Amino acid sequence: MLTLSKVLKLQIQNALESAFPEAASAARAAGKRLDPLIVPASKPEFGDFQINGALPLAKPLKQSPRQIATAIVEQLETNADFLNLCKPPVIAGPGFINLILKPSCLVNEISSRLIDKRLGVPSIPPKKKNGEISPVVIDFSSPNIAKEMHVGHLRSTIIGDSLARVFEFRGYEVLRLNHVGDWGTQFGMLITHLKEVAPEALSTPNAIDLGDLVAFYRQAKQRFDEDNSFQLASREEVVKLQSEDPIALKAWKLLCDQSRREFQKIYDRLNIDLTERGESFYNPFLRQVIEDLKVKKLLVLDDGAQCVFLEGMTGKEGKPLPMIVKKSDGGFNYATTDLAAIRYRFDASPKGDNALRLIYVTDAGQANHFAGVFQIAERANWVPNHARLEHVPFGLVQGEDGKKLKTRSGETVRLRDLLDEAIERAESDLRLRLKEEGRLESEDFIEHVSKTVGIAAVKYADLSQHRLTNYQFSFDRMLSLQGNTAPYLLYALVRIAGLARKGGMIDIAPDELQFNEPQEWSLIRELLKFDEVIVEVEEELLPNRLCTYLFELSQSFNRFYDQIPILKTDEPYRKSRLALCRLTADTLKTGMTLLGIPTLERM
């Protein structure tokens, strides 16, 4: 109801200003407006919208809230356009005004929704700058080479993908960047170690698999921590790599390819699209970062290292906190790479990305890192005025015991094992249900449904939590057909698909739409909220808002489905109800797609 609420806001603003012309012009003279504070109703019994402005206006207007509310209502009642949309406003409590939309207005909204593929969500006209479209850059997933992807990367991948989908739906060009950890000391250690224990891995593709690589990395790390000469050799190897020594470079490429192939398997299973631009990509730009920081007088030499002292952030003993950008041995680090990346991403020349908004999806543990990096980027003037730079942090994935998610033997859980288990459990649930219902289905059907439900459950369990809270990973809960789960939403769609098969999804002319039951009106009101929810997710970067909405929509639909007849009722109600079913299906499907979750016709 974005458009409608805009119209209403304008009418109410005008009513308030006509009721208090002097105060209104005084406010305007000060560059402000009197604010009627119109918000969606907090409870359905309050109607559709509430005007809350009378209370805070009481003091400046020197009248009681009720008097102010009465004056606003009197103005509104003289406006025929307003009375076309709303029933006569009701003053409640000390001076709130409740607005209830007229049925005719709701039916109009529904009939335009029925023929709108975008379901009321406005599409942003691409902003052209220098003839180019400024993209939204989302940095997500970003696992590390020679390490397994863990559940933290899974969260980043799922949340990042969903945000990217919302921006794409709104009409933005989105750059989905995979900032993989493919550079730095770890390669020095790994190459040095492999030269001794598995030299073939450095010259032949596919010589070892990722599992082995991870084990080798662990051994290398241990040697690095314990053995001085190994440390020295590793550092020399890093220098070789950074100066592009062909043998070191070849070994590095092979190792990256190996990990990349494994990562890709996960992305394929999750249907995630990413452009890989790892840390190594920014290697040629690191020196410029240091140069530029020097020019801008931000660099300080501290204990042999080049650093920037962060404002408003203190470390031990309240001393200002330095962010090291060039180590005393001349090496660069994670932060330097991120600084180079910000510069590159906001660079408006043909060499850069010219980003409009730059979003990082990582665990909350990196909040300080990003706060520091963002601060330096701001102080170095790399962030254009119109642009936005945001960290989207998320909490931990915990086991059912409330501790960090681990396997029974205490290892970190591998993503592919986790997805396999979700699918296996979905399959046994399904087989049980088929048996109970006496249904016979093909093996292809069982495989397809189990895969879809298993992956959907994992994704939805993650997205439906407020991303900042830690959440407990529970297969039982996420696969349940009850509650705020993927199977519950998928099942609502299956019900509608069943109705469509039986009743046909007939077209209906707008003037034929007729509703007479409360369950219909509450479903209608729920359906009309979709556009606002999407715009809110785009603004606040919280996919759980969309999940909550889809859950409430499914609940509202299920009440409608359970409590009133749909196929066995007279026209024009039958057609009208089927039209609501179709719109519910379209809204649920679009919403699920924006979460990166495919839907089913039968399950």
Query: Would you tell me which residues interact with ligand ARG (CB under 6 A)?
Result: 139, 142-144, 179, 181, 338, 341, 360, 362
The rounded distance, in Å, linking the Cα atoms of 354 and 171 is: 17
The amino acid that residue 162 corresponds to is S
DSSP tag of 239: H
Complex with ligand ARG: residue 392 or 581, whichever CB lies closer: 392
The rounded distance, in Å, linking the Cα atoms of 366 and 388 is: 19
Q: Report the nearest approach of ligand ARG to the CB of residue 150 (Å).
A: 8
DSSP tag of 123: P
Complex with ligand ARG: residue 238 or 358, whichever CB lies closer: 358
Q: Which helix (H) or strand (E) segment is 318 a member of? A: none
* Residues near 83 by beta carbon (within 8 Å), at least 6 away in sequence: 76, 77
The rounded distance, in Å, linking the Cα atoms of 526 and 581 is: 13
Q: Report the nearest approach of ligand ARG to the CB of residue 145 (Å).
A: 9
DSSP tag of 327: -
Count CB atoms within 10 A of the CB of residue 330: 11
Helices 246-270 and 415-437 sit at what angle, rounded to 10 degrees?
20
Paired tokens of 36:
């009627």
Phi-psi region of 134 (alpha: psi -120 to 50; beta: other; left: phi over 0): beta
Complex with ligand ARG: residue 196 or 273, whichever CB lies closer: 273
Q: Report the nearest approach of ligand ARG to the CB of residue 394 (Å).
A: 12
The rounded distance, in Å, linking the Cα atoms of 508 and 513 is: 7
CA 196 to chain centre: 44
Q: Report the nearest approach of ligand ARG to the CB of residue 162 (Å).
A: 17
Dihedral sign from CA coordinates of 105, 107, 108, 113: positive
Complex with ligand ARG: residue 139 or 538, whichever CB lies closer: 139
Q: Report the nearest approach of ligand ARG to the CB of residue 397 (Å).
A: 14
Helix (H, G, I), strand (E, B) or coil at 507: coil
Helix (H, G, I), strand (E, B) or coil at 300: strand
Complex with ligand ARG: residue 54 or 137, whichever CB lies closer: 137
Complex with ligand ARG: residue 53 or 278, whichever CB lies closer: 278
Q: Bridge partners of 394? A: 363
Q: Report the nearest approach of ligand ARG to the CB of residue 76 (Å).
A: 51
The rounded distance, in Å, linking the Cα atoms of 339 and 372 is: 10
The rounded distance, in Å, linking the Cα atoms of 271 and 329 is: 42
Q: Report the nearest approach of ligand ARG to the CB of residue 245 (Å).
A: 24
CA-to-CA separations, 112 to 33, 223, 375, 529, 540, in angstroms, rounded: 32, 67, 46, 14, 27
Complex with ligand ARG: residue 36 or 181, whichever CB lies closer: 181
Q: Report the nearest approach of ligand ARG to the CB of residue 213 (Å).
A: 16
Write down the number of H helices and E strands in the chain: 22, 16
Instruction: Supply φ then ψ for residue 132, to 5 degrees.
Output: -110, 155
Complex with ligand ARG: residue 82 or 183, whichever CB lies closer: 183
DSSP tag of 177: E
Nearest to 140 by CA among 326, 489, 390: 390
Q: Report the nearest approach of ligand ARG to the CB of residue 335 (Å).
A: 9
Q: Report the nearest approach of ligand ARG to the CB of residue 208 (Å).
A: 22
Answer for the pair 223, 217: CB distance below 8 angstroms, yes or no: no
Q: Which residue lies nearest ligand ARG, judged by its C-beta?
A: 142
Complex with ligand ARG: residue 262 or 586, whichever CB lies closer: 262
Q: Report the nearest approach of ligand ARG to the CB of residue 161 (Å).
A: 15
Q: Report the nearest approach of ligand ARG to the CB of residue 339 (Å).
A: 10
Answer for the pair 592, 550: CB distance below 8 angstroms, yes or no: yes
Give the helix ranges, DSSP H, for 464-572.
Answer: 475-478, 486-503, 518-527, 530-540, 543-563
Q: Report the nearest approach of ligand ARG to the CB of residue 212 (Å).
A: 21
Complex with ligand ARG: residue 362 or 576, whichever CB lies closer: 362
Paired tokens of 401:
């015991």
Q: Report the nearest approach of ligand ARG to the CB of residue 143 (Å).
A: 6
Complex with ligand ARG: residue 277 or 575, whichever CB lies closer: 277
Complex with ligand ARG: residue 257 or 512, whichever CB lies closer: 257
DSSP tag of 101: B
Nearest to 91 by CA among 61, 51, 37: 51
Complex with ligand ARG: residue 95 or 143, whichever CB lies closer: 143
Complex with ligand ARG: residue 373 or 496, whichever CB lies closer: 373
Complex with ligand ARG: residue 341 or 546, whichever CB lies closer: 341
Residue with tokens 């933290």, as numbered in its chain: 152
Long-range contacts at 401-404 (CB < 8 A, ≥ 24 apart) = 402/472
Q: Report the nearest approach of ligand ARG to the CB of residue 277 (Å).
A: 10
Count CB atoms within 10 A of the CB of residue 501: 11
